[in-house]
Structure 1
Amino acid sequence: MSLLGRLLINRRAGEAHTAWNLPNLQGPETVALTSRHFGDGEAMPAAHAEKYAGGDNLSPHLAWTPPQPETAQLLLVVEDIDVPVGKPAVHCLALVDPASGHLEAGALNAREPAPGVRLLKSTIGRGYHGPAPVKGHGPHHYVFQLFALAAPVDGGPGATSVDRARPRTLLPAVTAPVLARGRLTGVFER
């Protein structure tokens, strides 16, 4: 166990400030979000961790049950709720075409995202940033949250303000009604 991990063992962001708990992102929990790489509450394979944490930084496969037909856009938020700071770290923030139905492994790669995926700024940068918790800090929970929105977040493909916004500014500003939502939690520890 590393000294830093031991010093921070009882300090964790928690779920209170996750996208899931924002008043504007409330909605029916009718989307089942799954991955063929891990189940809800299960350990994430090392391939999905950051390279410096021994992984390949490969975003996991994600699939979901179809949201309502009037869904205009899907908002995907991945947060580490166990970081030793005041708020969860956003590891990925993306807008997804609702017609896609799933994302294959690697679809959230910053250099080459899958068709229908628009990567926004996260706490760390654009694209998927896998688990890399402090050694010895204990298990970290990575919450994958999918929101089916009734209108696009940015109002159209020409808008650039959404691309520049930081997650803690963008997420509370989403005004589109949430038609459905679902979540999946993976666990990683080093």
Structure 2
Amino acid sequence: MAVSLLGKLLRKVRPDENRSSWYAPELAAEETLQVQSTAFQDGQAIPLTHSGKGRGDNLSPALSWSQAPAGTKQLLLIIEDIDVPLPRPIIHTIAALSPSLLGLPEGSLNQEDENIRFLPASFGSHGYAGPRPLPGHGVHRYGFQLFALDRPLGEEPKNVAALLELVRGHVLARGRLTGIQEG
């Protein structure tokens, strides 16, 4: 009840969408990657089974994407809550993926896989953290953003800012799928 009231009080508090990682100049590139999911369509509701702990099963959705451009050495997946009531969006998950992948089966971000390397997200967490909007806060948009890089990441960045510096000038293409959940 108190959380729902807090969500309602903060309903109009949302970051400027331009603060999303999608708009970071370090990640700028042509939008030529098509990202899809069998769990939800672009702009539609993400099923609760893919929601974070305490709300759903925290099971990563199946994702698929079009072939990355020639010269791609690494794929980078960023899952971000664009509407959290904070000064900037929160990144739930960051994963460096093998460039040979054309998708991820349901649950693949919940287990160890040699083709997936998790990097620190907004609060330093590693792994899949599904949508979990503040109750009462309204609709939240979650961007599943994919970037094709012309080099492997190599070292693990300490945080999101360090990651952006590592990829600056190395993004060949990008694409995204946006799903929603009601808080």
Q: Same fold (TM over 0.5)?
A: yes
Q: 1:181 and 1:137 mapped to 2: Cα distance? A: 30
Deviation at 1:16, TM superposition (A): 1.1
Question: Do the aligned partners of 1:113 and 1:119 also contact (CA within 8 Å) in 2?
Answer: no
Calculate the aligned-residue CA RMSD, in Å: 1.4
- Which of 147, 163, 166 pairs up with 1:170? 163
Hey, what does 2:87 align to over in structure 1?
A: 86
Q: 2:159 is matched by which residue type in structure 1? A: R
1:151 and 2:144 aligned = no
Question: Do the aligned partners of 2:109 and 2:127 also contact (CA within 8 Å) in 1?
Answer: yes
Deviation at 1:51, TM superposition (A): 2.3
1:4-43 aligned at under 5 Å gives the runs: 4-43=6-45
Question: Do the aligned partners of 1:17 and 1:87 also contact (CA within 8 Å) in 2?
Answer: yes
Can you list the C-alpha shifts for 1:126-146, whole angstroms capped at 9, x where unaligned? 111011111110011000110
Q: 2:16 and 2:105 mapped to 1: Cα distance? A: 29
Q: 1:88 is matched by which residue type in structure 2? A: P
Going from structure 1 to structure 2, the CA distance change for 1:178 and 1:20 (only over 3 Å counts) comes to same
Q: 1:89 and 1:64 mapped to 2: Cα distance? A: 23
Hey, what does 1:140 align to over in structure 2?
A: 140
Question: Do the aligned partners of 1:152 and 1:176 also contact (CA within 8 Å) in 2?
Answer: no
Structure 1 moving runs of 4+ over 6 Å: none
Question: Do the aligned partners of 2:13 and 2:86 also contact (CA within 8 Å) in 1?
Answer: yes
Can you list the C-alpha shifts for 1:114-133, whole angstroms capped at 9, x where unaligned? 33000111124111101111
**Aligned residue pairs, count:** 180
Hey, what does 1:70 align to over in structure 2?
A: 71
Question: Do the aligned partners of 2:59 and 2:106 also contact (CA within 8 Å) in 1?
Answer: yes
1:113-128 aligned at under 5 Å gives the runs: 113-124=112-123, 125-128=125-128
**Structure 1: gaps of 5 or more residues:** none
Q: Scaled by the length of structure 2, what TM-score is found?
A: 0.93
Question: Do the aligned partners of 2:149 and 2:167 also contact (CA within 8 Å) in 1?
Answer: no
Identity %: 45
Q: 1:29 and 1:188 mapped to 2: Cα distance? A: 24
Q: 1:145 and 1:172 mapped to 2: Cα distance? A: 17
Question: Do the aligned partners of 2:81 and 2:141 also contact (CA within 8 Å) in 1?
Answer: yes
Q: Secondary structure of the equivalent of 1:100?
A: coil
Q: 1:8 and 1:135 mapped to 2: Cα distance? A: 10
